[in-house]
Structure 1
Amino acid sequence: MTDITHLEEQIAHLTRTVDDLSEIVARQEKELTVLTRRMHLVMEREATREVESGGTVPLADERPPHW
């Protein structure tokens, strides 16, 4: 096998790896966006529940006791 052929094969494998990783990163970005949106909804729901149950400040907005 010539050096050029060997290099071409390595480039092909690396290109495939980069494409695969790119797809994985794109999928993870979508999942992260969905999970972030869900987390904000849960936090808003909990804050509303805290206020409705007689609390004055939602826990998410409360300062830690050491401040």
Structure 2
Amino acid sequence: EIYSCMVRKDDPQFLALVNATLADLYKSGEINDIYDRWFQKPIPPKGLNLEFPMTSELKAIIAKPTSEPVQ
């Protein structure tokens, strides 16, 4: 399942900030660390580990981020 973020359509400056921030996360690879933290490692406070590896489809989407809907 692919995730999205909704923003107000009448706030192009905020949308630009969100897009730039997400692009930086993807380009730097930090998005992989964030995914790892929440889906591959124990989550505080109980240490629950979802053990949910990233799918090849999600890896492909992360490799080429876009604001276009996934087909």
Does the alignment reach a TM-score above 0.5? no
Higher helix share: 1
TM-score by length of 2: 0.29
Of structures 1 and 2, the one with the larger relative CO (CA 8 A, separation 6+) is 2
TM-score by length of 1: 0.31
